[in-house]
Amino acid sequence: MTRLRLYTVLLAVVLLVCGAAWYLFRPEKAFIDDVVDEPFPGEVSPGTAPGPSSANPPGAPVSRSDSR
């Protein structure tokens, strides 16, 4: 195999590896500002806050089970 052919094959392999890495990593996505209008999982909207439960009425002492 001649030296020129070896360099051509190596260049093709390097370009394929760089192209695959670019496709998988997508660094331009780090700079794109897409606005997502979705609440966080488990987030309660302001109008639907739950009231006090009978297990913890307001003003009742709170016991802590973890000891430090």
Tens of pLDDT, residue by residue over 15-50, are 999 999 988 888 777 787 777 788 888 866 666 555
Flag whether 5 is in a domain.
yes
Q: Per the structure block, which two tokens stand in for 11?
A: 């260049």
Q: Which domain holds residue 11?
A: 1-27
Highest mean pLDDT, choosing among 7-11, 36-40, 53-57: 7-11
Structural contact between residues 52 and 58, judged by C-beta atoms closer than 8 angstroms = yes
Flag whether 17 is in a domain.
yes
pTM of the complete model beyond 0.85: no
Distance between CA atoms of 9 and 16, rounded to whole angstroms?
Answer: 11
Q: How many domains does the chain have?
A: 1
Flag whether 32 is in a domain.
no
Flag whether 41 is in a domain.
no
Flag whether 55 is in a domain.
no
Flag whether 18 is in a domain.
yes
Flag whether 11 is in a domain.
yes
- What is the predicted pLDDT for the residue at 67? 57
